[in-house]
Structures are given as structure tokens and as C-alpha cells.
Structure 1
Amino acid sequence: MTKTKSPRRMTDDHAADSRATATERAFIVSSSHLASPGHEDLSEFEFALTVVNHAFQRWVVRGMAAAGLPDLSPLDALVLHSANHRHRQKSISDLMFTLNLSERHSLNYAMKKLDRLGLIARRRDGKEVFVGTTDKGRAVCEEYARIRRICLLELIPPDRSPGGSRIGDVAKALRVLTGFYEQASRSASSL
């Protein structure tokens, strides 16, 4: 982890204050060579995203273990929860789209594991395969939700704004940034 410094961007309130001076702010980044001048905040975001992603995956694995399934990977658990969503069967393409998966083999591997554990059932309708949860799969999802309420939701402040930002606003910003990263991925593929 590296700290880089950059002039703090001034808001309108700060600009109006004649006493406001440009101060230095330390950005926390994982790799200083990625902290491009003027874009240090993006490098800080990427590092925070990396850290939160690992924390989220660790939570999912431990939450599923507490619900009785200690051998599920984060993707296995997310596929199970997506298949259980609204108790409606999902097509393979729906699952890939929802989870933003680009490789079908990782989804197939997760589904085989979930099927072997008796958590999902698959059915074919023409060329399309549909996936839904079994009674056992729904029970595990309900137990995970109960554990999530106890272990995670109790930590969230009542105003839903840990760190000063509302969770819904952060989610919207992440969806916008997802589009930027998707476009950058397409651009990098053509280089």
C-alpha cells in the first residue's frame, strides 16, 4: 500500500472561502505507478474496491459456512442466491448477465457443485437450460439471510450512511463505474 499526495480538489464552499488554501491530501493506493496525476482518487477507489471485494467474498464464504455449507466458493454462493431470487427459475444467460460473468465454464462449475449438493435443480426447455433452487437450496438461502441480519445488518448505521455516503448512492456510483470498466475492457481487447 502506497500513499501519494495530490492537491485537494476544492468544492464551491471552499472556493468561496478566501482563506481556503490548497492543501495536500494523502491518497491510499496499492501501486504508486497507477496513481496518475489528477487521477489519484481513481487509484484510491480501485484499492478500496479490491479490499472491499476480498472482505465481501470472505463474508459470503463464512456466512454460507455458518448456514451449513462450508465448502462453497463466493461464486457458488452468489449463483445459489441468484437462482433463488424471487423463487423463479433463471436461464443460464440470465445468471451470466445478472452476475456479470464472461466465462460460462465458471458458472457451469458452480452449478455442478450446487446440483451435487442438492441445492439447485435444472430443467431444459428447448435449447435453453433453466435453474432454480430446491427446497434444501431455499432453506440454506433463508438461513444465510437470517445470519446476515444478525452478523451484518446490525452493523449498518440506522441512517444507512457508513463513512458519510448513503449505501444506495454508493451502489449507483458503482454501477456507473462498472460501465467505464466494461468499456475500458473492450478497448484494451482491441489494442
Structure 2
Amino acid sequence: MTKRRQQGRETREWIETALPDHLKPVSPIGPIVSSAHLAEGGSPGLSEVEYGLILASHAFHRWMVRCMAAAGVPGLSPMEIMVLHTIRHRDRGKKLSEICLVLDIEDTHVATYAIRKLEAAGLVTTGKQGKEKTIRITARGAEACARYAQIRERLLVASTAKARPSEETLSEIAAVLRFLSGAYEQSARAATTL
């Protein structure tokens, strides 16, 4: 039994014995999920994580769009913003295949469309390296990313400094998310064989 489940059990036992009947909960709430029928299986905790991922991904997408708009570049989708930051990463030209690999984009046309839109906005430029197309950040694109970073520091990083988990815990959470990403990818491949 995990430590968390043990603590939960001890808390429930304390409630059952210490509180008067009129203050006792009618039934335990159970896991916080969006699909109770999935939480009835062998891992209700995984269902809780999935619901958390749903909420976090939507909130993160809204944040990216609004932060980039505040940085002076409205009208970009979350995918376009992620592609822009990936191209900006380490100030090196990127190949389409590298962008797709880093962002785990399965359909290259999604990244190609984003790159075309970013190029039309003057945020990136394309060229050739041998037979492959390369994409580089422009000065305007780098400025947009810098303004985005400044706004992120002020509105997100500074405002959550005292409330968010430690940097070590955040790194551990990121490692768990990367692990889950691999598990979902493997399961998706297996599902295509059914």
C-alpha cells in the first residue's frame, strides 16, 4: 500500500471514529476524474492524472496564446507558438524532422502549416541545407520570444514562486510526465494492432 493511500485510510478511520454522526460524510468522494467509468478499473490514480492532464493542457494552451498576444504577436495557435519556441531553441537552424521529433508531432503537415504561418508573419525564415529545408528564427521572432519570456517571468514564475512545488519536485513531475508519454505512445502502437 502506498504512503498516500495509507494516509487516506487513516484519515477516513479518524473521521469515522472522531466526528459526531451528523458531521460524518455520507460517502467518500473518491478520485477526482472526468470519466468515472475509467476510474473503476485497476488504476483510479491514473484516471486522476489523465483528468489533470486535460485541465493542464487546456490551461497551458490558453496561457501560451494570451502570453504571445501580450508579447505583441496575437493570432498564433498553441502549436505555432510551440514550433516558434522550438526553432528559437539554442539559436540554430532546425529541420522539419527535428521539430517534429522534439514536439512529438506525428503529422508533418501540422508542423509545415505552422512554419508557413510563422514565416508569413516574419517570425522565421526558411532555407536549404543540402536537400533539406531548414528553418531559422528571425530578429522579429527572437524579439517576440524574448518578450514572451519576460511576461512569463513576471506573470507566471514570480506570481507562483511561493505557492508552486520546489524546482526539484517540478523536475520529478516532468520526469513522470515523460515516462507517461512513453507509456501512452507504446499503448497507442499496441492499440493499432487490435
TM-score where L is the length of structure 1: 0.85
Question: Which of 147, 152, 166 is residue 151 of structure 2 equivalent to?
Answer: 147
Matched with 2:3 is: 11
Question: Which of 70, 89, 105 is residue 66 of structure 1 equivalent to?
Answer: 70
Deviation at 1:171, TM superposition (A): 0.3
Distance 1:170 1:12, change over 3 A: closer
| Uncovered stretches (5+) of structure 2, i.e. residues with no partner | 14-27
Q: Which amino acid aligns with 1:183?
A: Q
Q: Distance in 2 between matches of 1:175 and 1:186?
A: 17
Matched with 1:5 is: none
Q: Distance in 1 between matches of 2:43 and 2:65?
A: 34
SS in 2 for 1:129: strand
RMSD: 2.5
Q: Distance in 1 between matches of 2:160 and 2:169?
A: 11
Matched with 2:61 is: 57
Runs of 4+ in structure 1 displaced over 6 angstroms? none
Matched with 1:190 is: 193
Question: Which of 99, 105, 126 is residue 101 of structure 1 equivalent to?
Answer: 105
1:171 matched to 2:174? The reply is yes
Structure richer in helix, relative to its length: 2
Q: Which amino acid aligns with 2:102?
A: T
Q: Distance in 1 between matches of 2:191 and 2:43?
A: 19
Distance 1:21 1:105, change over 3 A: same
1:91 matched to 2:83? The reply is no
Q: Which amino acid aligns with 1:102?
A: E
Deviation at 1:174, TM superposition (A): 0.4
Contact 1:89 1:130 in 2 (8 A): yes
Structure richer in strand, relative to its length: 1
TM-score where L is the length of structure 2: 0.84
What are the Cα deviations for residues 111-140 of structure 1, in whole angstroms up to 9, with x where unaligned? 010000000011112221111100000000
Distance 1:31 1:159, change over 3 A: closer
| Uncovered stretches (5+) of structure 1, i.e. residues with no partner | 1-8
SS in 2 for 1:182: helix
Q: Distance in 2 between matches of 1:21 and 1:138?
A: 52
1:45 matched to 2:49? The reply is yes
Contact 1:118 1:137 in 2 (8 A): yes
Deviation at 1:157, TM superposition (A): 2.9
Matched with 2:21 is: none
SS in 2 for 1:123: strand
Contact 1:160 1:166 in 2 (8 A): no
After superposing the two structures, state which structure 1 stretch, 76-85 or 27-36, moved more.
Answer: 27-36
SS in 2 for 1:61: helix
Distance 1:188 1:118, change over 3 A: same
Percentage of pairs with the same residue: 39
